[in-house]
Amino acid sequence: MMMAANLSWATTATALVAAVTISKAFKFVSGLKAVDYLPGLWVPFQPLSLLGVLAPERSWNPGVIFVWTWRHTRNIYRRFGSDTVSVIPFFSGAPSIYTRSMDVTKQVVTVGHKTGAFGKTDDMGRAFLFWGPSIVVASSQDQWRKHRRIAGPAFNNDTYQLVWNATQKVYSDMIDCEGWVEKGTTNVPRIQSLTTKFTLLIIATCGFGLPFSWGEPPSHDGQMSIQQCMEIITLRNTFAIAAPKWAWKLPLPWVRQTRQAFDTMRAFMNSHVQARREAINSSADDDTSKDILSLFVRASENDEGKRRLDDKELIGNIFALLFAGHETTSHSLAATLGFLSLHPSLQDEIVEQVHEVTKGRNNGEITFDDYSRLDKALAAFYEGIRMFPSGVYLIREAKQDTALNLSGIDEEPKMLPVKKGTSVVVDMIGVHYNPRYFPDPEEFKPARWYANSTSNAYIVDGEDHTGFSIGPRSCLGKRFATTEAVCFLVLLLRDWRVEPLLSVNVSTGERETKEEWRERVMQAKMTLTMGVRDVPLTFTKRV
């Protein structure tokens, strides 16, 4: 009797395994057909799926940023001899097409947006949708236009003037509060500790109109600081997206801390939205507040009917603004300063341009009107973004059966049929390190972005294909970020030389070389966006 039962269980288990195997085989073949058998990777999990993110990075599981970690060793584009390849999972996830071709990117992101052939997926903005609908995650064109109508007018020259002035003030506060004035040389073990706080204060001032200083970072009712909240939210976004409601009540310290961070952030945004709305509706608002939250709320209240944003939509847009204006700019500034520390001559070029622009001024003041003439600082920032794009992927889903032209310029059309529902992943690391567009892609060369550059007109004409995305849905906050970055960089480099903080081998006493420092430090790490590892720098006062 026992033997019969064991045989029955064995038969059942064998049948289940066979059924699952056959099901996955059909899934795999279906995935191959969806991309018309385009050569590429065969993996168990789609790298951007939950299992692909959670499973350890191995040769069989590439990981979320394999386009960075494999770019030298197992570069998928070199391996398959094409700038557009497939990634077919046979266990979990949907088939997808990865591309580092700007021609294909334009077909998907720009033309596809206009024709409706491609659009954003619901999944790609889940981390932001957690807070509410926003311009970042709007999947339909109607939704995007609704949010764009409210958000667009907030980004104007008055806002950028406000950003410039706030950057000057926060820079001065930083130097005073960090005690740099009394020091000739300052070591900063992790420059992100400064850039993160700096960008948060700018967005708190210009985004929310809050009068915070370096010594008084923003918080809500004296609880966890907003900077602490943002750091926790960034690190634990996967838990927030995937965890069921009951998991938030687990009696674990890190779960309680996560819940506090999310609750504090939501309360912070809610309170300011309500306060601003009440002021506007009670006529207490004098229509002179230029911070972005005031402009958002005022524009929404002045709109009518379905075009008005509700509280969830306002908070969704505010979080997108807060996050994009804080974390991504912080990452990019850290990367830019890391690379500049390796190139003293590039620092000197920026400083020389600053002196040229301010020549004849008694106090050497740098004003917002100088922005367009400080293109060397802007170029360095663009190059930092190119080498460490915060937005690694632009993901679009085929909304109908369509086709992509994979041929190069002046070549016969090579059409790839794409089934409805197939994702096309624009690999921005692949684009930014593609020698077709960026000669010597591993080298930090800001000159490739100069307005008068003739080395590659394609780049100059299409500079939006940096970390600010491309096409009609490119980042609204681009000028906000570049204004802040240019002002910060020219002030900092005018006053301080920056060098790598080299480590010393405890056993031998030998100091690492700059080449070794770059290999160790200037590597990517991934949270909600991609950034550079902790960057240790030394600042020496210019005389």
DSSP 448-490: GG-TT--S-HHHHHTTTSSTT--STTS-TTHHHHHHHHHHHHH
Indicate the SS3 state at residue 185.
strand
Structural element, H or E, at residue 207: helix 192-208
Look at residue 459 in the predicted model and tell me its pLDDT. Answer: 39
Burial of 186 (0-12, 13-18, 19+ CB in 10 A): middle
**Model pTM?**
0.87
Look at residue 451 in the predicted model and tell me its pLDDT. Answer: 63
In Å, the largest CA–CA distance within the chain is: 101
Helices and strands per DSSP (H, E), number in the chain: 22, 13
Structural domains in the chain? 100-541 (1.10.630.10)
Look at residue 457 in the predicted model and tell me its pLDDT. Answer: 38
Give the Cα separation of 103 and 96 in Å (integer): 18
What type of residue is 10?
A
For tokens 């019969």, the residue is 4
Give the Cα separation of 342 and 512 in Å (integer): 13
Strands 393-398 and 423-427: what pairing?
antiparallel
Residues that constitute the known binding site for heme? 475
Residues that constitute the known binding site? 475
Instruction: Provide the 10 A C-beta neighbour count for residue 372.
Output: 11
Classify residue 83 as left (phi > 0), alpha (psi -120 to 50) or beta.
alpha
Sign of CA pseudo-dihedral 515, 517, 522, 526: positive
Give the Cα separation of 543 and 535 in Å (integer): 25
SS (H, E, C) 280-322: HHCCCCCCCCCCHHHHHHHHHHHCCHHHCCCHHHHHHHHHHHH
Look at residue 464 in the predicted model and tell me its pLDDT. Answer: 45
Yes or no: say if 351 and 493 are a contact pair by the CB < 8 Å rule: yes
Sign of CA pseudo-dihedral 469, 472, 476, 480: positive
What type of residue is 181?
V
User: Which residue stretches of the chain have pLDDT < 50?
Assistant: 454-465
